Amino acid sequence: MASRTDPIGTDNVLSDLGFDDAEELSAKTILAVKFNDLIEARGLNQTEVATITGMTQPKVSQIRHFKLQNISLERLMQALVSLDQRVEITVRSADKTRPRGITIAA
């Protein structure tokens, strides 16, 4: 029987692909998904979202298309607050069941 030499992955595909900022990009993506879901549910266009959030329409477009390199986590959180959401950050000690890292739930 041949031995397996497949690489072992993690639960973060961006990390597996070698992105240096994988945790931050994953967090941004989760927040952007929530942002985009809210926009769609409310039937807002990008200009309306820009007015509500205080962002420019091009920034809204970047988030709509998940081009998140030039968007900060703070900006995404503020945009969600502008859309009547509550954003909470909790810091806990890491242990065997919850290793160190960043986890976002939306």
Contact 50, 101 (CB under 8 A): no
Give the percent of the chain with pLDDT over 70: 79
| In contact, 71 and 60? CB cutoff 8 Å | no
Range of the domain at 27: 20-82
User: Which DSSP category does 13 fall into?
Assistant: H
At 52, which CATH number?
1.10.260.40
Q: Specify if 70 maps to a domain.
A: yes
Over the stretch 8-52, which tens digit does the pLDDT of each residue have? 555 555 555 555 667 889 899 999 999 999 999 999 999 999 999
Q: 44 with 24: CB under 8 angstroms?
A: no
In-domain check, residue 24: yes
Domain count, the chain: 1
- Structural domain contains residue 6: no
Residue with the bigger pLDDT between 29 and 104: it is 29
Asked whether residue 78 is domain-assigned, the answer is yes
Does residue 99 belong to any structural domain of this protein?
Answer: no
Is residue 101 in some structural domain?
no
pLDDT score of 60 more than 60: yes
Residue 46 belongs to some domain of the structure: yes
**What is the distance between the alpha carbons of residues 83 and 24, in angstroms, rounded to a whole number?**
22
